[in-house]
Amino acid sequence: MSSPAPPPALAGHLKLLDGPDPGYLDREFGVPLDEACSELIDAFVDGDGDTRSAIVQAMSLRRAQGLAVYGERMASAGVREDSSVILLRGVLAVGLASVAEYDKELIPLLALLHRSAEHLTIDPHTLFTTAEEILGAVAPAWLTSFPDREPRDRSLEVMDFREREEAQGPVYEPVERAPGPPADLPAPEVLAPEDATWAAFIDDFADSEPDNRSRLALALDSAEAQELAQFAERMAAVAQQERSSMAVVRGLVALGLASRHLGKEELAPSFERLKDSVGALSLEPVSLFAAAVGILGGAAPPWLAMSETA
């Protein structure tokens, strides 16, 4: 089963996200990457199932990070332009980024968008619920529950931001915090050294060009395939401990890479553990399998690709 390719008009937008300017967060509004991200979000909103799946499957970690920065920028832009549409794009961008980016990096951005909704006297529940309905299976559970937090638990202060007023509207700035994550945010994943090594390998694989992915996959030997299968099983436990969809995707990608040397039966225990984690966390399996298959490309085994629609 082949994965749908993004429409040609979106390919260039996704390419821009492969290498966003490190100073993008502080650029003037309306730069080309803003326009590309806006058109990408609008294409997801207006697209059919194939278009949405193609965008989800194309969402590497690097692209998700760029989309998250766009979402952060839209929190200020929405107030400056007095536009609920811009704010909604920001929420959608953060939700879509959750396919590949860590929850702990994204949840604080919701505080900015929530605060901007208050500036525009927009009901935050309506804003976030609308985003959930559009995102469908991709929407993370923490997105729609955010407005229901206690006021302090969703405040800029707790999320380590401050608000500064300028003539055109608010600017949100990160602030230094004491060591240790806030109690209401997911703690960073604590991985054993060997797991951290494989996690970094898979993240690098996801961010590589297709030709380089093929070379990386072909270079793996049978012993490394065994290690990847064991890594995948451990990621199932990490997923439940950390409530991390990213751990599930990493595990699925690991199984896909291991399948070059190991058969479906040998990988079945790890695969079942990952599926159990998806169920235990009430995650939507279709989007997670689609993300893994999109990362693996031609290296995805047929049984994993078929699981997209299972």
Q: What is the DSSP string of 156-199?
A: TTTTTEEEEEETTEEEEEE----SS--TTSPPPP---HHHHHHH
Residue 182 domain flag: no
Residue 181 domain flag: no
pLDDT digits (tens, 9 = 90+) for 228-266: 999 999 998 888 877 777 888 899 999 999 999 999 999
Question: For residue 181, what pLDDT band results from cuts at 50, 70 and 90?
Answer: very low
Average predicted confidence (pLDDT) for the chain: 85
Residue 183 domain flag: no
Residue 224 domain flag: yes
Residue 111 domain flag: yes
How many separate domains does the chain show? Answer: 2
Q: In the chain, what percentage of residues exceed pLDDT 70?
A: 87
In this predicted structure, what is the pLDDT of residue 290? 77
Structural domain range at position 68: 8-174
Q: Are residues 169 and 268 in the same domain?
A: no
Cα-based distances in Å from 26 to 22, 64, 73: 9, 18, 8
Mean pLDDT computed over 55-83: 92
Question: For residue 108, what pLDDT band results from cuts at 50, 70 and 90?
Answer: very high
Contact assessment for residue 29 and residue 72, using Cβ atoms and an 8 Å cutoff: no
Q: Are residues 105 and 133 in the same domain?
A: yes
Across 34-61, b (16+ Cβ under 10 Å) vs e yields: bebbbebbebbeebeeebbbbbbbbbbb
Q: Are residues 101 and 200 in the same domain?
A: no
In this predicted structure, what is the pLDDT of residue 187? 47
Domain boundary among the residues 128, 144, 174 is at: 174
Of the segments 129-133, 211-215, 281-285, 298-302, which one has the largest average pLDDT value?
A: 129-133
Q: Are residues 242 and 131 in the same domain?
A: no
Residue 88 domain flag: yes
Residue 210 pLDDT exceeds 90: no
Domain boundary among the residues 174, 208, 233 is at: 174
Global pTM?
0.64
In this predicted structure, what is the pLDDT of residue 183? 43
Question: For residue 74, what pLDDT band results from cuts at 50, 70 and 90?
Answer: very high
pLDDT digits (tens, 9 = 90+) for 75-88: 999 999 999 999 99
Q: Are residues 47 and 162 in the same domain?
A: yes
Q: Are residues 167 and 200 in the same domain?
A: no
